[in-house]
Structures are given as structure tokens and as C-alpha cells.
A and B are shown apart, each in its own frame.
Chain A
């Protein structure tokens, strides 16, 4: 069983819809990243959070440490939001330079 589970794996929606992507993890973590990857492209960090909620433009990320769950929301979705969204966690260890553990990503397609 993966330490980081995302749902849904694939999501197709119409432009303007409100999008929610979920991430559950089974280990203690120091922080959680939400990342965006376009096909064949690099990875962009959207958020890093360890508690509460963060907002950037049309993107909102929330995390519930007790429930080991995080969500990424996209409001007023647009075709340019089409990408793979990846949840990655930093396991709770003593080091400050530890590698991330990734979920398998959610493939999002926003149709015009």
C-alpha cells in the first residue's frame, strides 16, 4: 500500500467547475507539498503546508494533520489548469533535507 494515496486518479471537468483533489497519507509528516506537472514538463511547487489552509489565486490547499488528509481545490477552473497534480509528503524524521514521498498524481483535464 502506498504511503500517499490520491483521488481521483483521473478527472475530467468542464471549464468553470470547482475542482477538488484529495490526498491521504499513512505516515507522520513534517509538511505536505502540492505540485503541478504538465505533460513532459517540469514540476512546479504550488503549496507547502503543515497545518490549516493556504490560498493562491484560484488555488486553495487545506490539510488536517489529525486525519492525515489534504485537499487541493481549484475554483473557476480553466483549460490551462489541465495537468497532473501531485501530493508529496515530507516524512517526520530528524533531518531537514529528506526526500519527498510522492502520490501517483491526479490527471486533470478541463474541457472548454
Chain B
């Protein structure tokens, strides 16, 4: 079965550079979530999108922005990178079902970002 795809899998950037992470949800999934997991930390929710609209917002820095496109893939744009942005960035997807209050999230393999 198709899973969530993230690219790139690894990314190395210098301080103050920009980075773009991509997430391709499971086919027919309409919701995408972004999470950040720092070294030795538990994942933290950043932002989510449903049907190309921002749905929920967590601890996403102002330097980061994200969007969901018409094909439901999502991109996380990170500017003015800092050393503390080094982390594993997970994307998850789900599909909203009628009458359901909650939808199981399926996670991608993550993008490991290293800021030097």
C-alpha cells in the first residue's frame, strides 16, 4: 500500500539559508500535518492543512510557512535557518470521513534537517 512520501530524506543547510521540505500524502488523503522532533525530544506539532486550507496551528516559528497544493501535497518552507532548527521533520496524512470526529494519522519517514 502507498505510504506518505517525504523529500528530501536528508538535508544539510548553513545558518541563515532557506529550506523547503515536501510531503506527498497517501492517495485520497485530504489532510496533512507537520511535526518537528528535535534530538532526543518528543515530536511537536507545527501545522496542519485540510483541503488546502490551514486547519490547526501549533508551535510553528514565524520563520516557517507551509501550504497545501491542489494535488494535496504540502511544502514546509523554512527561512533564516538556525542551529536549533536541526531536527527530524515528520509529515502525516489522514482522510476525513463523514461523521467522524477523529482521523487516524499515518506518518512519513521524515526529513532529517541539519543546520551547520
Contacts and interface: CB of A to CB of B under 8 A. Distances in A.
A and B physically associate: yes
Contact of B102 (A30, A86, A103): A30
Chain B residues touching A, range: 20 to 34
Main secondary structure of the interface of B (DSSP, over half): strand
Contacts of A30: 101-102
A67 interface: no
A105 B43 CA distance: 10
A99 B102 contact: no
B102 to A, nearest CB: 4
B106 interface: yes
B104 A44 contact: no
Contact of A100 (B31, B45, B96, B101): B45
A98 B106 CA distance: 14
A95 B42 CA distance: 23
A41 interface: yes
Contacts of B94: 97
Interface in A95-110: 95-105
Contacts, number: 74
Contact of A35 (B48, B50, B107, B109): B107
B77 to A, nearest CB: 18
A99 B33 contact: yes
A6 B106 CA distance: 21
A98 to B, nearest CB: 5
B42 A41 contact: no
A45 B94 CA distance: 12
Interface string B74-112: 000000000000000010001010001111111111100
Given A48-B104, A96-B103, A97-B48, A102 B42 contact: yes
17 contacts: A33-B105, A41-B109, A42-B90, A42-B109, A42-B110, A48-B104, A90-B102, A95-B55, A96-B102, A97-B55, A98-B55, A99-B45, A99-B58, A100-B43, A100-B105, A101-B45, A104-B42
Interface of B: 31, 33, 35, 42-50, 55-56, 58, 90, 94, 96, 100-110
